[in-house]
Homo-oligomer: A and B are copies of this chain.
Amino acid sequence: MDELMNLLSRYKKQWSLEQGFYTSGETLAAESEKIWKRDWLFAGFTCEIPLPGDYITYTVFNHSAVIIRDDDGGIYAHHNTCRHRGSVICTEERGNEPDLKCPYHHWVYEKNGRLRSARMMDKDFDRGAFGLHPVHVSILSGVIFICFANDPPDFSRVRSDLAPYLDTYDLHHAKVAYRDRYELDANWKLIGENFRECYHCGPAHIEYCQAVIGADLFEERAQLWAEQKEVWRTGGFPEHTIHEVMGPGHFGIRYPLRPGFATYSLDGKPVAPLMGKHKDYDTGVVGLIHYPNFWMDAVADYIWVMRITPLDPARSVVDLTWLVNGWAEEGRDYDIERLTEFWKITGEQDWQLCENNQKGILSEKYSPGPLSDTETDVVHFHKWYLTALGRK
């Protein structure tokens, strides 16, 4: 851990991080222990597993969870490894199983993890001692968070801060319209940093800047924003900025679209029916983050969520989900192409920037550079990260 301690001790506020944070296996191992196996992680949505036996799996480093809907509607998460000889229980990324039956020797577990039967075992075999190892679950307004730690951190502040924002979307009755996945040659934190500043938006994101007034950091939007806040408050939509860096590291904000833009789309026109409590398309953009892996950008008619998962120091997966109103029908109420093109274009611009960034950081000559004032939230992200990494 000496290398890591040195890295931490050399940190200069308002500068980019040293190379070792983005390239070292030792750093990644420390992040695994101090962050990924310790904090609440975004896994998916309750609306993805509406029926008893519906499940999803999520793997982070060498931890893999199966998250399953019980017969009485509850949601359980378990380590996806049989207590007999260790086989994975659920072999697919998502599916439906009446029981958690190991495909190897057919040991059968209840959805709540209890071992129901183990064929041909000794009479004195104690089934009660061989249930699936549990993983903690917290449902936050339809968003599923899991935690691999024995003692998960307190989640109540995240809940009270983010629920008002999420509740307006009625996520329990939303549906997944589209999923996409990219494997990036970039450290997971470079993706995080990218999504915490708009210094690059003017140069890199024409379409995004067209939809979001002020994203180029030049246009004036203070007055418009203030006026809109009044409208949002009146309509019962939260609009205060949440900025909780020191604890679990979450963030929330609502900001205006450009006048004439109803949503995140190339032409500004709606792409799907209004979600949840929305009565109009004038509710701007909601940005919610829970470090390290929940990144959500929502407009009145759809939600785009990015789940970041590290693979190697220089490789990460981003899983993208587009959610729409649960009763919406593809073809009739929305068109996949129109729904997804805005973030497909904007996202791919970002993936390229992140990979460029990693590639340059791999240079022996890379050294931290000074950040501009517009990158303050990157500094906040660093603060959360370094604090988390320094935890005992």
Interface: A27 (CB within 8 A)? no
* Beta-carbon contact of A83 and B204 below 8 Å: no
* Beta-carbon contact of B86 and A203 below 8 Å: no
Evaluate whether A81 and B199 lie within 8 angstroms (CB atoms) in the complex, with A87-B356, A103-B353, A356-B91 already known: no
Interface: A12 (CB within 8 A)? no
Which of B103, B119, B363 is in CB contact (< 8 Å) with A62? B363
Docked complex Cα distance between A301 and B382 (Å):
59
Instruction: Give the secondary structure class of A's interface.
Output: loop
**Copies of this chain, count:** 3
* Beta-carbon contact of B357 and A87 below 8 Å: yes
* Beta-carbon contact of B203 and A125 below 8 Å: no
Contacts of A91 in B (CB 8 A): 356, 359
Interface: A200 (CB within 8 A)? yes
Tally chain A residues at the interface, Cβ within 8 Å: 55
Quote the shortest CB–CB distance from A313 to chain B (angstroms): 13
Evaluate whether A16 and B372 lie within 8 angstroms (CB atoms) in the complex, with A104-B353, A120-B199, A363-B62 already known: no
* Beta-carbon contact of A366 and B200 below 8 Å: no
Contacts of A16 in B (CB 8 A): 84-86
What are the 5 A-B residue pairs with the smallest beta carbon separation, nearest first? A81-B360, A79-B365, A88-B360, A106-B203, A86-B361
6 A-B residue pairs with Cβ-Cβ distance under 8 Å, sorted by A, are A82-B369, A85-B357, A86-B357, A88-B360, A89-B360, A105-B203
